[in-house]
Structures are given as structure tokens and as C-alpha cells.
């Protein structure tokens, strides 16, 4: 049996050497044959999508309405289309290198954006078709923004409520990201983004507690077992970071992370 095995392996080894010698001998020929095929495919990917012969409007109706409603050119002025929107949407249509967008992100944001496939791998339209879309928007947009319909005036106050100022002096503009009212004792909880605090006010609007938090709050709950639980956003500005947390704050103001994104 052993003998058979060793014979078998020597035989296959011999055959392998024969094939390898032949391959090495004919390799240059193979490469020469493969080269035009490679050149052809490489050329095709360089050329990108074919020119369609459609008008700028038709192209915009297909491509711009692919992700959201079709935006009419008169919604914005020429400069907003040319310098603001279209250069930005060019990334979404593969007409600009998305690396420019990714370069400014944090490493874990880059992974999230790549996983979400937010930007196509290559151009979605031929370069001349893209120019037609630009001409359609810039050519049909007004020089100055069109006047808007008058909206009803903004009024202050709420029916059934009266406005009362807080006793506390505000030296910076308050940025409140959360308000909760505990109806049992009338306490008001306010998440103060600019101070990184969760503040508690009593019925008479006197501040009775300040609890430090590490990022802006979006929600909170009072539970018998866990005490106070709050959701920290991490970073409030638009982002793809995973740095939000669910925390519990006990009577001694000690924080425990219950969930970490």
C-alpha cells in the first residue's frame, strides 16, 4: 500500500514537473495572448459608462431622482448649484473621487461609510452626460434666489403656559438637548449641551442638582431599580461615529456605562 502511495506521488510529481516545464516554455506566448484581453478590459473600465444622447433634463430626472425627489433647477440660484450642490452630488454619482470625502473622517467612520456603500466605485455616467446635467441646472437656475411665499409670522408663547425666566444667570447661550418632566414631583430635567450637565430644577424652577455627563443627552428615564438612566449621543454634529452610550447615574452621582455603541 505504502509502495503504491509513494509510486503514485512520484508519478504525479513527475507529471507536475512536466507541466511546469511546458508552462515556463510557453509562458511568454501565453502572456502575449493574454495581454490584448487585459488591455481591452482595462480600457473598458477606463472609458466608463457610454454616452447616452439624452438631454440634461432627462439625465437629471433619471439620476438625481434615483435617491430623492427630483429637484427643479429654480429651487436654488446658479451659484448654489454650481459651487455647492453639484460638486457634492458629484461624489454620489462617482464623478469625483470619494477619497477626498473619506480623508477627513475618523478611521471607524471610514469603515461605516464604506460598508454603507454611500459612494459608487466608479463614474455612473459619461463625463459629457454629467456636463449636460450641470448645464441643465446652472442654465435654468435664477441668478438670485426666487422670492418665497410669505409664511405666517412666528409668535412666542404657548396656549395654557406662561413663560417664567430661570433664576440662574445665563452667560452663554443655553443649548438644551433634552427636557423631561417628572410628573410625580414636578421636577424638570434639562440636558445642557454647552455645560455637559444634566440639571434638575424643582417646581419653583430652582436648580437642585447638576450631574456631569460626557456628551449631549438625547433621552432619559427614571427607573426604580437602576435609578436615573440617560442616553449620551457621543458627538451631536452629523457623523458616523459609534460613540453613544446608555449610562446610569446613582445617588452619589457615580456613572456606570450600561451600553456602549
Q: Please, which residue, 64 or 247, has the CB nearer to ligand HEC? A: 64
CB of 93 to ligand HEC, least distance (A): 5
Beta bridge partners of 31: none
Q: Which of 92, 132, 180, 193 binds ligand HEC (CB under 6 A)?
A: 92
| Residue 253 backbone zone (phi > 0: left; psi -120 to 50: alpha; other: beta) | left
C-alpha 59/C-alpha 8 separation (Å) is 65
Rg over alpha carbons for the chain, rounded to the nearest Å, is 32
CB of 102 to ligand HEC, least distance (A): 14
* Residue 132 contacts ligand HEC per CB under 6 A: no
Q: Are 188 and 181 contacting, i.e. CB atoms less than 8 angstroms apart?
A: yes
Report CA-CA distances (Å) from 164 to 157, 198, 203, 206.
11, 20, 12, 12
* Residue 193 contacts ligand HEC per CB under 6 A: no
Q: Which of 85, 105, 211, 241 binds ligand HEC (CB under 6 A)?
A: 85
* Residue 133 contacts ligand HEC per CB under 6 A: yes
Q: Are 73 and 142 contacting, i.e. CB atoms less than 8 angstroms apart?
A: no
* Residue 62 contacts ligand HEC per CB under 6 A: no
Q: Which of 63, 132, 180, 193 binds ligand HEC (CB under 6 A)?
A: 63
- Candidates 65-73, 107-115, 150-158, 186-194 — which segment interacts with ligand HEC by CB under 6 A? 65-73
Nearest CA to 217 among 229, 202, 204, 232?
232
* Residue 229 contacts ligand HEC per CB under 6 A: no
Applying CB under 6 A, the residues found at the interface with ligand HEC are 60, 63-64, 66-68, 71, 85, 88-89, 92-93, 133
Amino acid at each position: 500500500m505504502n509502495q503504491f502511495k509513494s509510486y503514485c506521488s512520484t508519478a504525479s510529481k513527475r507529471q507536475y514537473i512536466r507541466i511546469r516545464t511546458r508552462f515556463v516554455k510557453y509562458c511568454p506566448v501565453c502572456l502575449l495572448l493574454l495581454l490584448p484581453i487585459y488591455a481591452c478590459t482595462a480600457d473598458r473600465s477606463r472609458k466608463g459608462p457610454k454616452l447616452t444622447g439624452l438631454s440634461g433634463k432627462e439625465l437629471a430626472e433619471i439620476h438625481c431622482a434615483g435617491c430623492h425627489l427630483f429637484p427643479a433647477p429654480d429651487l436654488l440660484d446658479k451659484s448654489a448649484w454650481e459651487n455647492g450642490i453639484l460638486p457634492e452630488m458629484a461624489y454620489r454619482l462617482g464623478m469625483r473621487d470619494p477619497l477626498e470625502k473619506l480623508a477627513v473622517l475618523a478611521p471607524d467612520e471610514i469603515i461605516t461609510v464604506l460598508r454603507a456603500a454611500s459612494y459608487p466605485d466608479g463614474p455612473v455616467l459619461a463625463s459629457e452626460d454629467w456636463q449636460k446635467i450641470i448645464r441643465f441646472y446652472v442654465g435654468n437656475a435664477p441668478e438670485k434666489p426666487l422670492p418665497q411665499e410669505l409664511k405666517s409670522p412666528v409668535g412666542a408663547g404657548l396656549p395654557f403656559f406662561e413663560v417664567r425666566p430661570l433664576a440662574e444667570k445665563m452667560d452663554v447661550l443655553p443649548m438644551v438637548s433634552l427636557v423631561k418632566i417628572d410628573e410625580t414631583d414636578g421636577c424638570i430635567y434639562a440636558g445642557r449641551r454647552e455645560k455637559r450637565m444634566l440639571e434638575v430644577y424643582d417646581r419653583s424652577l430652582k436648580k437642585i442638582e447638576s450631574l456631569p455627563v460626557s456628551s449631549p443627552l438625547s433621552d432619559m428615564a427614571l427607573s426604580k431599580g437602576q435609578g436615573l438612566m440617560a442616553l449620551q449621543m457621543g458627538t451631536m454634529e452629523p457623523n458616523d461615529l459609534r460613540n453613544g452610550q446608555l449610562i446610569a447615574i446613582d445617588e452619589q452621582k457615580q456613572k456606570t456605562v450600561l451600553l456602549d455603541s
